[in-house]
Amino acid sequence: MRQITLAATQMACSWDIDDNIAKAEALVTGAAEAGAQIILLQELFETPYFCLEQSLGHLALARPLEQSRVVSHFASLAGKLGVVLPISYYEEAGLARYNSLAIADADGTILANCRKTHIPQAPGYEEKFYFSPGDSGFQVVETRFGRIGCGICWDQWFPETARCLALQGAEVLLFPTAIGTEPKNPDLDSSGHWRRTMQGHAAANMIPVVASNRVGTEREGGTAGVFYGTSFITGHTGEILAEAGRAEETFITATADLEAAARYRSSWGVFRDRRPHMYGALHTLDGRTGSPG
């Protein structure tokens, strides 16, 4: 057996950055005290989800990796608690800005800086205004407790994200998230669809998945976003091991056996039987494998 205890946190955020950091630290500390070794915080937890509308002023929130207050604070906390923390932050790099995730190992060392690959654009999710598409690629990071692969929110909707990370040897998939209501479609509740998509990634790749989402109502100009929480952890066949509610600020934990998951993956032969040369359509946008360029 190679057991690992995973955790996801969820919380509401405000423009009181000190309070956001303190709240997140309390949740991480609680999860660590409950035995968690890899703890996932939600997307962009330093501030409210500022992408509800386009605002030039919010561009000033971005910071270089080395100057990010939230990264330095939680990297230090990771070392203090002896846990692995993927830390979501708004990154400034030259003239570009990214939605990024700094991976802190259990000694506080930053092992990798992963940038969000897929950038959404929709009412209430105006991310193309704030972020350039990530150029870091899908990275698998060797941490003290295992090899982790991360996608950031919209990345989690793409089976290509999970499969690329699995092919590179990820043993756990982690997805920090900010998702809730759709301002132009208030009757749509995507929470079940959101969850089933990632359960499918776990089942198809036979790898445990951790998803962390925020809760609460946030407003920017004339737009309100109500975030639906429901953070969860799956086992390697997609079964739910732990889940949070739609409104509570909390953490959840679950234990997975990475050795058992590896044996299961090998026994099914899914990766043995792949035929990459037949998947040419994946290299196109229109599905026509003969398309030029």
Residues annotated as catalytic are 43, 116, 153
Name the residue among 202, 256, 279, 249 with its Cα closest to residue 19.
249
| Closest C-alpha among 2, 5, 1, 3 to residue 210 | 5
User: Phi/psi of residue 133, each to 5°?
Assistant: -60, 135
CA distance 139 to 112: 8
CB-based contact 134:114 (threshold 8 Å) = yes
* Residue count of the chain: 293
Are 215 and 181 in contact by the 8 Å Cβ rule? The answer is no
CA 39, CA 198: separation in Å to the nearest integer?
18
Dihedral angle, C-alpha 256, 104, 195, 267, nearest 10 °: -40
| DSSP, residue by residue, 195-235 | HHHHHHHHHHHT--EEEE--EEEEEETTEEEEEE---EEE-
| Burial degree of 95 (CB within 10 A; 0-12, 13-18, 19+) | exposed
Q: Is 20 helix (H, G, I), strand (E, B) or coil?
A: helix
> How many angstroms from the chain centroid is the CA of residue 154?
9
